[in-house]
Amino acid sequence: MIAVIDYKAGNLTSVMKALTALGAAAQITEDPAVVRAAERVVLPGVGHFAATARLRETGIEDAARESIAAGVPFLGICVGLQWLFEGSTEASGVAGLGAMRGCCARFPDSHKVPHVGWNTIAAAGASRLLAGLPPQPFVYYTHSYRAPLVEETVGVTNYAGPFSGAVERGNLFGVQFHPEKSGDAGLQVLRNFLAVPRC
Amino acid sequence: MLTKRIIACLDVTAGRVVKGVRFVDLLDAGDPAELAHRHATAGADEIVLLDITATHEGRKTLVDTVARTAREIFVPFTVGGGVRTADDAAALFDAGADKISVNSAAIADPSLIGEVGRSFGSQAVVVAIDARRGNGGAEIAEVYVNGGRKPTGRKALDWAREAEERGAGEILLTSMDADGTRNGFDCELTAAVSSALRIPVIASGGAGNAQHFAQVFKAGCADAALAASIFHFGIADVRELKSELAVLGVPVRLPC
């Protein structure tokens, strides 16, 4: 079973729909016990970084840390990717998971914000998450804050400079774009995540 | 590179897609789920479903239609028409909408924008503006509500700015002057609104050919353009439109 974490930050219907379409058994939950028991964990999110404070309050963060340490594949989407970092200037008092170094920051005023629409993502090194995609596939983004390039970056997108479109390390994965809204390319990314063995 | 979006719009009433009657076309009426899937497969970057009658009795039908349509598509899906309250919006999100579009109700109660945004994120709130300027400049364009029937006395530029301040994620700007003419989008109005805002602006009304789309993306500074009756002016599908736009130097998602 796949735990899709609900932290009251937006709509989970589309993520559930995509996972279901790929034949996965997924369950929306805010129960740490369900997260601990899950074979895979997905942390969606289209809201404000501050909403991730709820993950700590509800004990989900501890459950997620244990699952990740135990090798359970974990995928953060959008704000879910940002949460893997140390924090975001969107909510400076709220710490992220800190699994990846650096802080997320707002796009500069030189560009329209949010960054909305289909943009290309370029592979940066070997990636299980982006395997089987055409070179420079288009994926759908909608966000105002972005994660820096780090050693875990496996996909780079440019908008007012380069940022992490996809990150992965071991069983930990994150995508800033919305795979559930990115057509065939997005479904392939989710399929890849579903195929990652527990490590 | 961030591409310009081509958004396919389905006008729906009582669970069926309805289209203009001037043209003999396969899409005069059809099933929303089927057509949405066809547009998405043909390369539409987003799908918009507008309930054009938006009657109270029709809400249940609309929610069912949205749920059925959402099952078929994995590109962003916006639903609008008659969204009056945050509860209306919530029902549509639950049914599978990624964004909702608000128009008359947001003019009547602008706090609706922030209310929906707080629960579902501002990226999920599209404020639709129907504007008319006649022979005047873009700055005098006035907002109309109730399907373009009722003038509000509000300037489109002012309302667009307020909507942005209140947390709108995008503006869907329809030129009532251009709508239905097939003579091209109102590039002047679109450019005025787009350059006054930080959020994306979707242009709507007046599309007749691929050149018109290129013009509204370039001169009109539009971030996206809505093609409500794309199959009615000799373009086979979204993919063909995009191929023509690519030749005209517009960055589009292709292949798609």
pLDDT recorded at residue B2: 97
**Is residue B253 a part of any domain in this protein?**
no
Instruction: Please check whether residue A6 touches B, CB under 8 A.
Output: no
Find the catalytic residue in B88, B98, B130, B186: B130
> Chain-wide mean pLDDT for chain B?
90
What is the 3-state composition of chain B as percent helix, strand, coil, each rounded to the nearest 5? 35, 25, 40
Interface test with A, best of B69, B72, B98, B193 (most A CBs within 10 A): B98
Report whether pLDDT(B20) > 60.
no
Question: What is the total count of domains within chain A?
Answer: 1
Nearest residue on chain B to A182, alpha-carbon basis: B75
CATH at residue A85: 3.40.50.880
Percent of chain A with pLDDT over 90: 92
Q: How confident is the model at residue A186 (pLDDT cuts 50, 70, 90)?
A: very high
Expressed as residue numbers, the domain containing B194 is 5-247
Q: Is A22 helix (H, G, I), strand (E, B) or coil?
A: coil
Ranking A38-42, B165-169, B229-233, B246-250 by mean pLDDT, the lowest is B229-233
Q: Does B130 participate in catalysis according to the annotation? A: yes
Question: What is the total count of domains within chain B?
Answer: 1
**Is residue B254 a part of any domain in this protein?**
no
pLDDT recorded at residue A46: 77
Query: CA torsion angle for A131, A132, A133, A135 (degrees, to 10)?
Result: 90
A-chain residues within 8 Å CB-CB of B167? none
Q: How confident is the model at residue B24 (pLDDT cuts 50, 70, 90)?
A: very low
CA distance A198 to B87: 40
Question: How many angstroms separate the CA of residue B224 from the nearest CA in chain A?
Answer: 9
Tracing tokens 């979006």 back to the chain, one arrives at B5
Question: Dihedral sign, CA of A143, A148, A152, A154?
Answer: positive
From A149, A144, A7, select the one nearest A80 (Cα to Cα): A7
- Compare CB distances from B75 to A114, A140, A142 and report the shortest one's residue: A140
Q: How confident is the model at residue A45 (pLDDT cuts 50, 70, 90)?
A: confident
Nearest residue on chain B to A157, alpha-carbon basis: B1
Contacts of B87 (CB under 8 A, 6+ apart): none
Q: How confident is the model at residue A198 (pLDDT cuts 50, 70, 90)?
A: confident
Question: How many angstroms separate the CA of residue B79 from the nearest CA in chain A?
Answer: 14
Expressed as residue numbers, the domain containing A29 is 2-195
B-chain residues within 8 Å CB-CB of A135? none
Pairs of residues, one from chain A and one from chain B, whose beta carbons lie less than 8 Å apart: 94
Question: How many angstroms separate the CA of residue A27 from the nearest CA in chain B?
Answer: 15
Percent of chain A with pLDDT over 70: 100
Instruction: Please check whether residue A18 touches B, CB under 8 A.
Output: yes
B-chain residues within 8 Å CB-CB of A13? 70, 93-96
Q: Does A199 participate in catalysis according to the annotation? A: no
Q: Cβ(B182)–Cβ(B233) under 8 Å?
A: yes
Helix (H) or strand (E) holding B49, with range, is strand B46-51
Report whether pLDDT(A179) > 80.
yes
Q: Is B144 helix (H, G, I), strand (E, B) or coil?
A: strand
pLDDT recorded at residue B22: 39
Residues A72-92 pLDDT 10s: 999 999 999 999 999 999 999
- Work out the average pLDDT over A187-198: 96
CATH at residue B145: 3.20.20.70
- Work out the average pLDDT over A173-194: 97
A60: left (phi over 0), alpha (psi -120 to 50) or beta: alpha
**Is residue B255 a part of any domain in this protein?**
no
Report whether pLDDT(A138) > 60.
yes
Report whether pLDDT(B128) > 50.
yes
B-chain residues within 8 Å CB-CB of A181? 74-76, 98
Residues B169-179 pLDDT 10s: 999 999 999 98
Q: Does A143 participate in catalysis according to the annotation? A: no
Q: Verify whether the Cβ–Cβ distance A119 to B2 is below 8 Å.
A: yes
pLDDT recorded at residue B55: 67
Q: What is the DSSP string of B77-98?
A: EEEESS--SHHHHHHHHHHT-S
